Amino acid sequence: MTYARETAAERPPAERIHDWNEHTIPLPEIQIKAQGARCMDCGIPFCHTGKEINRMASGCPLNNLIPEWNDLVYRGLWHEAYERLDKTNNFPEFTGRVCPAPCEAACVLGIHEDPVTIKSIENTIIDRAFDEGWVRPNKPRKRTGKTVAIIGSGPAGLAAADQLNKVGHTVTVYERAPLPGGLMTYGIPNMKIEKETVLRRIHLLEAAGVKFVCNAHVGVNVSAEHIKQAHDVVILCGGATQPNSVNVPGHDLAGIHYAVDFLSATTQSLLDSGLADGKYISAKDKHVIIIGGGDTGTDCVGTSLRHGCQSVTQFELLDRPPNARAADNPWPQWAKVYKLDYGQKEAKAIFGDDPRQYKVMTKAFVGDEQGRVTAVKTVNISWEINRDGSWGIYELPGTERVWAADLVLIAIGFKGPENPLLKAFGVEQDNRTNVKAEFDKYTTSVPAVFSAGDMRRGQSLVVWAIREGRGVARECDRFLMGETDLP
């Protein structure tokens, strides 16, 4: 009741688009303690419930002990706050930077006031823990003699590796990319999480005894049979990395790329040479069209601006969200409200307006004689309820438009995991092409082969990936030892 909500400050957009550093500025300690004081220590806290309502996250899937560490921060007990945070979250420095914070959407204070700044408090706790030297390798007291192979080093694979290593199993993580981290390394750009932050955690895992084998594309240059024979258990955490496409005329023109390829190439070149090698898809001096209005589309906006694009426009198929919760979107559901994310703020500062265009459908791509994209044809749409109660898309006559485009980025999500790995292990897939494995059991149709993360549940949040990694570790430990103490 005494303090207003404050979040981390941001560096000015006109300044930050000229570098690749994180765009936020942490709040000073005195202000973070005040934000902790806003937590009501609810009798029934919804912030850490971790439920799904209307297919959207509500509360923290990791069941973080949020009211406890909020109060400890308020009282200045930082080490104790870190200990509470570490009980449930293997990588708070990931979630504190890139998670969209469903915990805040479910904060009880949010019913009638601005919710507690849980994400900023969490990030401050873990950053202080690293600064103070409290974060150390989780070395086991003894080894069990059991070996585990984890395919994929994204948040799910890393969480599983951390948990299984803690209880003494020998863990080897296989990653097809040059560096571990999955989308945390290659898919999410530096201005949201600097790669030194990811690699710092990787080095801690290595110091604890986890082995990483990079450039190991299982099913291509490493055989699945070899993996199974060399380990007692295999966990598939390869993610949902097969992007959705836009199958309209001209979709095969040069200059049209998937967002994940655009973002990962930029990150790899940035890591290798600070972009000096030119081995990335450049947006410099180009009119950029981004198809997709989600987080990945926002990352494409921010990256294009840092390349030096001439213009950037983002197409969103849905309608513009309302400024406040609609009647059919009550607390504690995820609040579907209009906001400017970091990329849109930057584009507005540079070009004068939010780059998003709502209710726009792509109809065709236009190319030149050399087969390069030069324009995108669109039409505006309306959403209407059909007789059977489903929503239908209807084109609005007279709203056709042609947009200049030298670079088109497809950022409309992922349809599922890539099949070669799954075929190599012979695991059964569900009707969405994900690995068929029951939630909280994680067992596949192949004995001693488990699966977790986006590869099992489909494209989701980083916090769900960590939750699944912890869960599959628990079930693998039970499988190997007959019982488990893992949460």
For the chain, domain boundaries = 9-132, 147-241+415-481, 245-412
> Quick one: pLDDT at residue 166?
97
Closest CA to 242 of 214, 223, 261: 261
CA angle 28, 350, 267 (to 5 degrees): 70
Give, in order, the Cα–Cα distances in Å from 219 to each of 71, 155, 226, 253.
Answer: 49, 21, 10, 30
CATH class of segment(s) 9-132: mainly alpha
Q: What is the pLDDT of residue 457?
A: 94
The candidate with the shortest Cα–Cα distance to 263, out of 279, 275, 280, is 280
pLDDT along the chain (487 residues), means of 10: 92 96 94 96 90 86 96 98 98 96 94 94 97 96 97 98 98 97 95 96 98 95 94 97 94 97 97 96 98 95 98 97 92 92 97 97 98 98 91 95 98 91 94 92 97 95 96 98 96
Residue 380 has what DSSP assignment? Answer: E
Q: How far apart are CA 130 and CA 96, in angstroms?
A: 14
Helix (H) or strand (E) holding 198: helix 195-208
- DSSP lists the bridge partners of residue 312 as 288
How far is CA 103 from its chain centroid? 15
Residue 50: the pLDDT is 86
Rg (CA), the chain: 23
Tell me, what's the pLDDT at 322? 96
The predicted structure's pLDDT at residue 57: 82
- DSSP-derived 3-state class of residue 131: helix
| Burial group, residue 254, by CB count within 10 angstroms (0-12, 13-18, 19+) | exposed
Here the tokens at position 81 are 């706050």
Instruction: Quote the pLDDT of residue 3.
Output: 95
The CATH number of domain 245-412 is 3.50.50.60:
yes
What is the distance, to the nearest Å, from the Cα of residue 396 to the centroid of all Cα atoms in its chain? 34
pTM (predicted TM-score): 0.95
Same fold, 147-241+415-481 and 245-412: yes
**Do residues 139 and 166 touch, judged by C-beta distance below 8 A?**
no
Q: What CATH architecture applies to the domain 147-241+415-481?
A: 3-Layer(bba) Sandwich (3.50)
Beta-carbon contacts of 65 under 8 Å, excluding residues fewer than 6 positions away, are 48, 84, 85, 87, 88
In angstroms, rounded to a whole number, what is the distance separating the alpha carbons of residues 349 and 94? 27
pLDDT score for 56: 82
Please give the Cα distance from 430 to 442 (Å, whole number).
Answer: 13
